[in-house]
Amino acid sequence: MGVTTSRNRHLVELVVTVAAALFFALAIQAYAVKPYVIPSESMLPTLHVGQRLLVDRFSHRIGNAPKIGDITVFMPPAGAESGGDQCGARGEGPSNDGRASRRACSRPTPGAGPRAFVKRVVGLPGDVITVTNGHVIRNGRRAAEPFAAPCGGGPECNLEAIIVPPGHYFLMGDNRGNSDDSRYWGPVPRSQIIGKAVVTYWPPDRIGTD
């Protein structure tokens, strides 16, 4: 009886230990760090399709604000995936009307899309943002963007001036000629930003920080 009781006790301890480990793993994923997979080419050459990264969700939950240059995971505005009427402000974007630059969208369509996007923060609340030949001009000064791929010369490479509203952030992909981002659907509300990408963990040859 003594041996059986000891084995049962060890079995209970093992089950409790595994359950506790599983609980803490799920808690960490839900509130602190969560993995995401890059779904498109919009962040080339920095991030490739299928590359996996870990996102810090906790710091945003305790009040840390996104910063210029952060690679950010967020829920895009409603309609961002459809390619249709993506702007929430009447008379703004996405039409070019034959012009060489896009008309800026100052307010996104209300609500969030069904799938998370990954883009880079290029504009903070109150910033004046324009885009010239694919390069961000922030508050009148060209941003340092060694990570950005050439845009290619289409109307998406130039954006009229926009003032980023309070509580919003202007997000763009590094692949400036092939990225559905704030040029099309406007700045993103802070409430829809999930967190900052802190490290890539797959494939092995691309492990590292952003």
Instruction: Quote the DSSP letter at residue 153.
Output: S
Name the token pair of 50: 């299928």
Q: Which of 6, 34, 42, 179 is catalytic?
A: 42
Cβ-based neighbour number of residue 10 at 10 Å: 10
CA–CA distance, 88 with 48 (Å, rounded to integer): 30
Cβ-based neighbour number of residue 210 at 10 Å: 16
Rg (CA), the chain: 21
For 194, the 3-state DSSP assignment is strand
Q: Which of 34, 119, 179, 182 is catalytic?
A: 119
Name the token pair of 178: 């092939």
- Known catalytic membership, residue 119: yes
- Known catalytic membership, residue 42: yes
Helix intervals (H) in 66-203: 182-185
Name the token pair of 142: 């060209």
Q: Catalytic positions, please? A: 42, 119
